[in-house]
Structure 1
């Protein structure tokens, strides 16, 4: 499946680069966008700066997460009306079916 990935972040609107989880003004790659925090995404469980270091590693982690059922890493933080397909749109993730 061909995939496209586009960065739609701005100063107050950050997303996990793997799963599109909304992070508000928190940037997992630091204020400069280049210094990873090494924190963990509560949704997909990626360690920012380790497993999402390149476009290829983001794609690989994302594909594994989706293939495993897109399960929440920290289920207590999962929104009641969560929709993984809608969340992935935050990072302009698309698959050609």
Structure 2
């Protein structure tokens, strides 16, 4: 199974919120950083800006009730796609 990683925080997903073609965002929200796919991550600059904002605010989970036990921010950030680091 292929994984897709949030362009802002690196959270893994089973399916791309950018659609099968990689160009059609579904405008859902990242469970971790609250990124609106297709808005906050529409460009490298937008993704970096959103990441800085999220980290600056303490990297809190958007949906804290689904934060995994033992969550490791550094490991997750390492999963950000290379083109969006």
TM-score by length of 2: 0.91
In structure 1, the gaps of 5 or more residues are 1-10
Q: Which residue of 1 aligns with 2:22?
A: 33
Cα-to-partner distance string for 1:27-75 (whole Å, 9 max, x where unaligned): 0111110100100000000100011110000000000000111000001
Q: Which residue of 2 aligns with 1:22?
A: 12
Q: Which structure: greater strand fraction? A: 1
**How far did 1:15 drift?**
0.7
Preserved contact between residue 32 and residue 63 of structure 2 (Cα < 8 Å): yes
TM-score by length of 1: 0.80
Bigger CA radius of gyration: 1
Runs of at least 4 residues off by over 2 Å: none
In structure 2, the gaps of 5 or more residues are none
**How far did 1:92 drift?**
5.6
